[in-house]
Amino acid sequence: MNTINQIQYMPSRPTYPPEEQIIIESAALTARTQFFHHCSGSALPVRDIPGRGKTEPNIEYGAEQGLNTDGEIIAAENYHHSCVPQAIASFLTSDEQFLVLITNPDQLSGGKQIVGYIEKRDYLDMGDRYAVTGPVKLYGLADAIPVNEVGVNPRSEAKLGEAEMETILDHFAGCEEATEECLEETLRLKEKHSDTPSTDGCGCSCDSGFVEDDTSGC
């Protein structure tokens, strides 16, 4: 079966649709991908706080809001800064359940990897855009999935069907979760680099912004 042909690529969508169009409760085992810039030199899939002052995905959201309970870590995307807001708006108004997180842990090779996902559970009205919130699960880079193994074009954000999402969930079911370690590392980096200004956006373009310039010093 050719999974690449089954994947639909995102059309242009508004960044701030009417709230009545938002769909939160969905049983659909479908998803879309979301790229973030990795902190070069880190062995964990954490965003680039030292090099670019990145704020998304905001895996510390639940810790700061007192929402992390029973071992569940709540994250937000598109929260402090807009990161491809039309994609998040489209995700919120679809029956897609998961936001699959992709990064480039080896920025010199250009190899994109799936490192976890956020499950859509709620949303926040940020005034000019929406943020999505929900439980996040992240896995070590050794357990990451090369995007081409599930038919994802490494240059474009994509919607994933049930077969692709089942492949991702089945793979990670056999892996040790690293979300708590990622949260601890994120908080450590934020404290260490508290004087690093955050960007006005995520630095990602509408085609995922896979512009690879190396950073260092985690």
Q: What is the pLDDT of residue 207?
A: 43
pTM score of the predicted model = 0.85
Mean pLDDT by 10 residues, the chain (218 residues): 46 77 90 93 93 95 96 96 85 95 75 95 94 97 92 80 96 97 97 76 45 42
Categorise residue 186: left if φ over 0, alpha if ψ from -120 to 50, beta otherwise: alpha
Task: Report strand pairing: 111-119 vs 98-106.
Answer: antiparallel
Q: What is the pLDDT of residue 107?
A: 55
Q: What is the pLDDT of residue 202?
A: 52
Q: What is the pLDDT of residue 3?
A: 46
The count of other CB atoms within 10 Å of the CB of residue 18 is 8
The residues with which 132 forms a beta bridge, in sequence order, are: 77, 123
27: which residues sit within 8 A by CB, 6+ positions away?
Answer: 97
CA dist., res. 109 & res. 112, Å (int): 9
Q: What is the pLDDT of residue 208?
A: 42
